Amino acid sequence: MTRLETLIPIPSLQGADIELPAELERLYDLAYNLWWTWNPQVRQLFSAIDSASWSRYRNPVELLINVDHTHWEALVENDTFMEAFSTVKRVFESYMQAEEGTWFQRRFADHGEECVAYFSMEYGLHQSLAIYSGGLGVLSGDHCKSASDLGIPFVGVGLLYRHGYFRQTIDADGFQQHTYPDYDFTRLPLRPVQGARGGELIVRVPFPGREVAAKVWVAHVGRVPLLLLDTDLRENDPADRPITNVLYVRGREVRLAQEAVLGVGGARALAELDIQPTVWHLNEGHSALLQLERLRNLMKEETELDLPAAVEAIAKSVAFTTHTPVPAGNEQFEHGLASRHLESWTDDLRTDVGSLLDLGKADHGEPHQPLNLTALALRTSSFANGVSHLNAEVSDRMWRHLFPDNPPEQPVVEAITNGVHLPTWIGLQMRTLLEKALGPLWIEDLLEAEAWWPVKEIPDTDIWAAHQAQKERLLRFTRSRLRKQYARHGQSPSELRSVAELFDPQTLTIGFARRFATYKRANLIFSDLHRLRQLLCHGERPVQIFLAGKAHPADRPGQELIQHIFKLSQQGELRGRVVFLENYDIRVARMLVQGVDLWLNTPRRPLEASGTSGMKAAVNGVLNFSVLDGWWPEGFDGENGWVIGADTPTGEDWREDLEDAHSLYQTLEEIIVPTFYDRDEQGLSASWVTMMKQSIATIAPRFAAGRMVRDYVERAYAPLFPRREGGEVSAEA
């Protein structure tokens, strides 16, 4: 058992009924640990068991359930398979036991019982576990994976959605259609958590006039346990069972109920497991209601404390991350609804509803203000950060009025820029190339910029070949997706056969994939169709554009934007040169960031919080072409990509759109396209490949999730750890 498992014991019950021969029993543990999501050797091993089933499910639990018992006999006698299994098992056990020690163990050599509890509304770990919608969830998943890699004593808390986030299809008229699958949790890499009495762990969450039961499941993410709460239980009233059914449900009261289950239920689950976090990390305000539970527990123990003193006490162990200045991203609930839900807390907290609501006031002066969970989280935390330098500056201006006594030179919201989990997002060919150039431990050890300079010495032909292999995989994937989509639209066999001729791997390919909120301006590149057609249809230097993204079911303007772009993609000269890939998920995202040549990002400044998709593209050698928003002002160095427009907003949306569109087209026409097609006798563009190397070398170490999580430990977590006798927490250099 590892040190981490000793710190955070999560007893779990048996998962699916899987029959394995004794020689392969360890496959069970491999299937139930999401370590396989960032280790290609494990995925190759599962594929070797049954390649057709793996291609269909891409979920090892489902795979193992469906393997016929007679199939194991042949595998056990297959020396090649057994050798691969032994290698994977050895690497997994070494990782879990931290035989070489972890970064956290070295950095905090005498750490005691520290534990970080991380709360998030969504987690993007793999497409088979659909409890995420987009960037926030993927960031949470990458945070857990890197916390595992670094050996941080860390536990995640979230919700388990019976129907997940919607699956998107686009009909023949371009309308986004929403379907919600009914997931069977017993066929996913999840297991019920065992309670103190041996059965399933159930916690109860107070609601007006009743309690709602939530079952606790665990997903293991390497060394990190992730607790997920589920209210779809028979013992709940039928009206309460659907609380955790759908991620980002439209109904406001259900949304508030979800956030109570996440915060209050999550805190109670940790208490039932005797896990006592020394740091509580709230990733966005969704989980801020956990502070009510912490206040209740503290005031029950310390009966002399009043509410302000108790708030001050619990804040000393809380770090809070805010992601977006967009109002829809800062969760709030109208006064009457919030009052009804907070009423049941007043006796335990020895206060009235008005005082509780005051903790969540945005303080803009109006009467009967809504309960704003960002404001609640800020008032009950001692460290707050935005997810890029620009985002932190904007958020600080938004919220510093809540703290009038704060010195002007001291920010209320600091900056810890997001990062991406490199092993998850880098393509197989590029990964192999980097292992050769940087050594086999490049992911674990290379967090310093200087260590990446050998990338610049990789032969141009090698890096271009790796990129082209990943690009061709994207094109095959896209053709397959389009055939299915067009068949559903009723297109003829000849039209379906013609899909095989689409997309030339030698053509400059632009990628754009993200949530289709209107401020992200997916239509900017379509604002001048005449100039766009000239770019796309050039006889010697053509361009093709791949787009993907979902609009929330309640976001009509976003859905109309998808319809507009889809219809354009079906018209005349744009058909086959512009493609909209439906059902954007982690797999589609991986394909795109690994395979396109140029990554396009066009948000309206300064509304982009970070924009991690561009980081994922960059570590694959894909060049960024972006507005100076989110992370790009920190990443751009003049030699690793290009900029759209000016570095400050004009204050007038129409003028900014006009100027940015002109900049976008002009840079493509005069710089980007000529650079890509300036080929030598080997078919290489030396200038382009040089920029690819510069992009990898300058962006990978600075925008890796390992760097991000290390920053959280040193700047947010460690300062909140309990002090040892004699002073500070001991740390080695």
Task: Please compute Rg for the chain using Cα positions.
Answer: 26
Residue 642's DSSP bridge partners are 625
Task: Tell me how far the alpha carbon of residue 456 is from its chain's centroid.
Answer: 29
- Rounded distance between C-alpha atoms, residue 74 and residue 68, angstroms: 11
Task: Tell me which residue has tokens 């632009």.
Answer: 510
The class (CATH top level) of 426-494+504-703 is alpha beta
- The pLDDT confidence band at residue 445, using thresholds 50, 70 and 90, is low
Q: Which amino acid is at 659?
A: E
Angle at 530 between CA 527 and CA 535, to 5 degrees: 95
Cis peptide bond prior to 404, omega within 30° of 0: no
**Dihedral, 83, 87, 88, 91 alpha carbons, nearest 10:** 170
At 726 the pLDDT is: 47
Confidence check: pLDDT of 338 > 50: yes
Whether the Cβ atoms of residue 634 and residue 610 lie closer than 8 Å to each other: no
Query: 33-37, 102-106, 297-301, 560-564 — which is least confidently predicted?
Result: 102-106
Mean pLDDT of 705-720: 96
Task: Tell me which residue has tokens 């992370």.
Answer: 631
pLDDT tens, position by position, 27-50:
999 999 999 999 999 999 999 999
Exposure string over 421-446, b if 16+ CB within 10 A, otherwise e: bbbbbbbebbbebbeebbeeebbeeb
Whether the Cβ atoms of residue 566 and residue 550 lie closer than 8 Å to each other: no
At 62 the pLDDT is: 96
Other beta carbons within 10 angstroms of residue 182's beta carbon come to 8
- The pLDDT confidence band at residue 4, using thresholds 50, 70 and 90, is very low
Confidence check: pLDDT of 2 > 60: no
Confidence check: pLDDT of 173 > 70: yes
Query: 148-157, 445-454, 643-652 — which is least confidently predicted?
Result: 445-454
Higher pLDDT among residues 9 and 462, named by residue: 462
At 732 the pLDDT is: 34
Q: Which amino acid is at 324?
A: T
At 444 the pLDDT is: 67
- The pLDDT confidence band at residue 269, using thresholds 50, 70 and 90, is very high
Tokens of 84: 């691969």
- Summary mean pLDDT of the chain: 92
- The pLDDT confidence band at residue 647, using thresholds 50, 70 and 90, is confident
- Closest to 264 in 3D by CA, of 116, 119, 113: 119
Residue 384's DSSP bridge partners are 320
Q: Give me the percent of the chain exceeding a pLDDT of 70.
A: 96
Other beta carbons within 10 angstroms of residue 483's beta carbon come to 17
Task: Tell me which residue has tokens 């808390």.
Answer: 157
- Rounded distance between C-alpha atoms, residue 623 and residue 667, angstroms: 14
- Rounded distance between C-alpha atoms, residue 108 and residue 571, angstroms: 60
Confidence check: pLDDT of 328 > 80: no
Confidence check: pLDDT of 3 > 60: no
At 724 the pLDDT is: 53
Mean pLDDT of 634-646: 95
**Whole-structure pTM over 0.75, yes or no?**
yes
Whether the Cβ atoms of residue 188 and residue 18 lie closer than 8 Å to each other: no
Exposure string over 297-327, b if 16+ CB within 10 A, otherwise e: bbbeeeeebebeebbeebbebbbbbbbbbee
- Rounded distance between C-alpha atoms, residue 164 and residue 131, angstroms: 5
- Rounded distance between C-alpha atoms, residue 154 and residue 731, angstroms: 18
Confidence check: pLDDT of 729 > 50: no
According to CATH, where is 3.40.50.2000 located in the chain?
104-415, 426-494+504-703
Whether the Cβ atoms of residue 517 and residue 551 lie closer than 8 Å to each other: yes
Mean pLDDT of 403-430: 94
Task: State the burial class of residue 67 (Cβ atoms within 10 Å of its Cβ: 0-12, 13-18, 19+).
Answer: middle
- The pLDDT confidence band at residue 10, using thresholds 50, 70 and 90, is confident
Greatest alpha-carbon pair distance for the chain in Å reads: 81
pLDDT tens, position by position, 90-139:
999 999 988 678 899 888 877 667 899 999 999 999 999 999 998 999 99
- Rounded distance between C-alpha atoms, residue 137 and residue 463, angstroms: 31
At 465 the pLDDT is: 97
- Closest to 647 in 3D by CA, of 691, 703, 606: 606
At 9 the pLDDT is: 66
Higher pLDDT among residues 70 and 449, named by residue: 70
Task: State the burial class of residue 259 (Cβ atoms within 10 Å of its Cβ: 0-12, 13-18, 19+).
Answer: buried
SS3 assignment for 227-266 = EEEECCCCCCCCCCHHHHCECCCCCHHHHHHHHHHHHHHH
Whether the Cβ atoms of residue 537 and residue 577 lie closer than 8 Å to each other: yes
- The pLDDT confidence band at residue 6, using thresholds 50, 70 and 90, is very low
Compute the Cα dihedral for 376, 382, 387, 392 and give only its sign.
positive
Q: H or E segment at 268?
A: helix 266-272
SS3 assignment for 113-171 = CCCEEEECCCECCCCCCCECCCHHHHHHHHHHHHHHHHCCCEEEEEECCCCECCEEEEC
Q: Give me the percent of the chain exceeding a pLDDT of 90.
A: 83
Q: H or E segment at 663?
A: helix 653-667
- Superfamily of domain covering 104-415: Glycogen Phosphorylase B; (3.40.50.2000)
At 196 the pLDDT is: 84
- Closest to 143 in 3D by CA, of 394, 390, 396, 385: 385
- DSSP assignments along 349-402, one per residue: HTS-HHHHHHHT---SS-SS--EEHHHHHHHT-SEEEESSHHHHHHHHHHHGGG
pLDDT tens, position by position, 582-624:
999 999 999 999 999 999 999 999 989 999 999 999 999 999 9
- The pLDDT confidence band at residue 439, using thresholds 50, 70 and 90, is confident
